């Protein structure tokens, strides 16, 4: 079998890329290890940025999202018993987040590929990507399928195998481990979270993200390396109440069953460069950020958009330029976004240093979030970076 672009992985990056290429008449094949039911059922991200929606719209991929997503243009910070509302929509020229579960977007992207007659091959595990500096790269599947490709895009997530095809020298991975972990919890709630709430608390950070009328995602800062078993449901709910409500019980919905509780080891990892020969990397296969600022899925789709443009220019018009610039351009964006995500982490967590004075640290954070809520250059810069307006 032969194709112009072989895509490993049917997450947001691989599916967005396949849709964009198919729309431009470039032949591609998506191979996905998991079953369709599993891929379409994975609950992860939920905040879609303004620039992501604009791109999806331009590709005719946002119809259902625009009808069903709820829009958000403010977030609350709770600190020292005060709630500070940051109207980032107002400071970014009216831009908004769209709350739309990742699995809904994934379903939409699979459906459009199906309609175009080129659905992903589910339950096909790529075992190796080979010959990436030869005349044609090759994808080899455990199920026996082999595909020759002009280009391969590794969209196979953080634990994917595409990276293994890179030469041992010439590539670097920049890893960072943060001095805390996050318990991430999907919880049933008695009413929808009105918006995102970040609590900066003496006991540690807690966050609440809307996910729909009856579900919210919550985050709780924990000591690094703590096992998830240290957090029975009753402790989770009590700690969320303490940190998120912090004297304002009306600000947090009642929490019921917890369908998903996981411990997230907080780290980031960025590979450089993102291309070698006929292999490009995109999405979590290339860079993993913490959930701080809700950037991962949005970066994955921004990579896909850039990779699609570059591959169309090369394969349809013979123009090598955008492909040559793919890695540098995407890494510049990734570093900018990572910088913002880390700035937000520093705001939300008190230093582990025992010499630090928590009262002073909390007072400083309250002053900072108040500045984000006050018209001016700081509020505008935060708003644009948080909502992902594409304005630097
Ligand atoms: P993935 O979604 O990981 O997809 C990779 C695909 O490749 C998978 O389907 C996998 O099965 C497949 N694969 C792997 N190996 C192979 C192989 N050998 N052969 C074939 N297929 C293979 N991001 C946000 O923007 N906003 C948020 O609010 C947000 N919240 C999050 C909350 C949680 C709890 C988590 C875990 C993540 C969150 N993220 C968020 C991050 C976001 O979910 C990821 O960044 C996003 O899924 C990355 O998309 P991707 O396509 O690069 O990779």
Q: Are residues 354 and 258 in the same domain?
A: yes
Q: Are residues 257 and 332 in the same domain?
A: no
Structural domain contains residue 53: no
Q: Are residues 183 and 249 in the same domain?
A: yes
Q: Are residues 262 and 275 in the same domain?
A: no
Q: How many angstroms separate the alpha carbon of residue 11 from the centre of ligand 1?
A: 6
Q: Are residues 112 and 196 in the same domain?
A: no
Q: Are residues 379 and 245 in the same domain?
A: yes
| Atom 39 of ligand 1, nearest CA residue | 45
Model confidence at 214: pLDDT above 70: yes
> How many domains, the chain?
2
Mutate to test the pocket of ligand 1, among 38, 50, 56, 102 (most ligand atoms within 8 A of CB): 102
The CATH number assigned to the domain holding 275 equals 3.50.50.60
Structural domain contains residue 392: no
Helices and strands per DSSP (H, E), number in the chain:
11, 20
Mutate to test the pocket of ligand 1, among 46, 56, 146, 296 (most ligand atoms within 8 A of CB): 296
Q: Which domain holds residue 121?
A: 2-46+101-176+267-342
Q: Are residues 228 and 366 in the same domain?
A: yes
Please indicate whether residue 101 is annotated as part of the active site: no
Q: Are residues 239 and 113 in the same domain?
A: no
Please indicate whether residue 100 is annotated as part of the active site: no
Interatomic CA distance for residues 327 and 139, integer angstroms: 22
Q: Are residues 40 and 149 in the same domain?
A: yes
**Secondary structure (DSSP) of 9-20:** --SHHHHHHHHH
Q: What is the pLDDT of residues 46-56, one digit of tens each?
A: 899 999 999 99
Q: How many angstroms separate the alpha carbon of residue 144 from the centre of ligand 1?
A: 25
Please indicate whether residue 384 is annotated as part of the active site: no
Structural domain contains residue 310: yes
Interatomic CA distance for residues 366 and 368, integer angstroms: 5
Structural domain contains residue 31: yes
Please indicate whether residue 291 is annotated as part of the active site: yes
Structural domain contains residue 8: yes
Q: What is the pLDDT of residues 77-119, one digit of tens each?
A: 999 999 999 999 999 999 999 999 999 999 999 999 999 999 9
189 secondary structure, DSSP code: B
Q: How many angstroms separate the alpha carbon of residue 136 from the centre of ligand 1?
A: 27
* Residue 319 in tokens: 């123009």
Structural domain contains residue 202: yes
Question: Helices 12-23 and 102-115, interaxial angle, to 10°?
Answer: 30
Evaluate if pTM is beyond 0.90.
yes
Model confidence at 391: pLDDT above 80: no
Contact 170, 197 (CB under 8 A): no
Determine whether the shortest distance from the Cβ of 295 to ligand 1 is under 6 A: yes
| Atom 2 of ligand 1, nearest CA residue | 11
Interatomic CA distance for residues 338 and 345, integer angstroms: 10
The candidate with the shortest Cα–Cα distance to 14, out of 124, 120, 85, 93, is: 120
Contact 13, 28 (CB under 8 A): no
Catalytic site residue from 101, 210, 291, 322: 291
Model confidence at 26: pLDDT above 80: yes
Determine whether the shortest distance from the Cβ of 207 to ligand 1 is under 6 A: no
| Residue 170 burial (C-beta neighbours within 10 Å; 0-12, 13-18, 19+) | exposed
Q: Are residues 157 and 171 in the same domain?
A: yes
| Atom 4 of ligand 1, nearest CA residue | 11
| Atom 52 of ligand 1, nearest CA residue | 283
Determine whether the shortest distance from the Cβ of 210 to ligand 1 is under 6 A: no
The CATH number assigned to the domain holding 221 equals 3.30.9.10
Question: Helices 358-372 and 377-387, interaxial angle, to 10°?
Answer: 90
Least confident of 55-59, 130-134, 209-213, 219-223: 209-213
Interatomic CA distance for residues 158 and 16, integer angstroms: 17
392 falls in which pLDDT band (50, 70, 90)? low
Atom number, ligand 1, closest to the C-alpha of residue 284: 52
pLDDT for the residue numbered 192? 85
pLDDT for the residue numbered 236? 97
């Amino acid at each position: 079998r032969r194709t112009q672009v072989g895509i490993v992985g049917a997450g947001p990056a691989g599916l967005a890329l396949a849709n964009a290429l198919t729309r431009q008449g470039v032949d591609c094949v998506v191979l996905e290890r998991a079953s369709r039911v599993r891929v379409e059922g994975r609950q992860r991200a939920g905040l879609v940025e303004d620039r992501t929606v604009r791109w999806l719209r331009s590709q005719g991929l946002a119809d259902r999202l625009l009808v069903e997503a709820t829009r958000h243009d403010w977030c609350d910070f709770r600190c020292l018993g005060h709630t500070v509302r940051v109207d980032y929509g107002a400071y970014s020229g009216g831009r908004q987040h769209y709350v739309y579960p990742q699995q809904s977007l994934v379903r939409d992207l699979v459906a459009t590929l199906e309609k175009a007659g080129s659905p992903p091959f589910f339950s096909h595990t790529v075992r190796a990507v080979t010959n990436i500096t030869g005349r044609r790269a090759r994808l080899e599947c455990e199920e026996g399928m082999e595909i020759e490709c002009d280009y391969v895009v590794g969209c196979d997530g953080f634990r994917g195998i595409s990276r293994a095809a890179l030469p041992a020298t010439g590539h670097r991975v920049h890893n960072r481990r943060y001095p805390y972990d996050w318990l991430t919890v999907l919880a049933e709630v008695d009413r929808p979270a009105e918006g995102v709430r970040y609590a900066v608390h003496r006991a540690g950070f807690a966050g609440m993200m809307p996910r729909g009328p009856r579900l919210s995602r919550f985050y709780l800062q924990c000591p690094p390396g703590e096992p998830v078993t240290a957090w029975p449901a009753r402790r989770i709910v009590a700690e969320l109440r303490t940190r998120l409500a912090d004297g304002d019980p009306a600000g947090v919905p009642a929490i019921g069953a917890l369908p998903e509780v996981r411990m997230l080891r907080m780290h980031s990892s960025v590979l450089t460069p993102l291309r070698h020969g006929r292999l490009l990397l995109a999405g979590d296969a290339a860079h993993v950020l913490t959930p701080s600022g809700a950037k991962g899925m949005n970066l994955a789709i921004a990579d896909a958009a850039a990779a699609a443009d570059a591959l169309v220019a090369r394969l349809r018009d013979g123009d090598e330029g955008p492909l040559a610039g793919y890695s540098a351009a995407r890494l510049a964006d990734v570093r900018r976004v990572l910088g913002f995500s880390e700035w937000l982490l520093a705001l939300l967590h008190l230093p582990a240093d025992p010499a630090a004075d928590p009262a002073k640290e909390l007072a400083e954070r309250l002053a900072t979030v108040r500045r984000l809520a006050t018209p001016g250059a700081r509020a505008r810069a935060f708003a644009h970076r948080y909502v992902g307006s594409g304005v630097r």
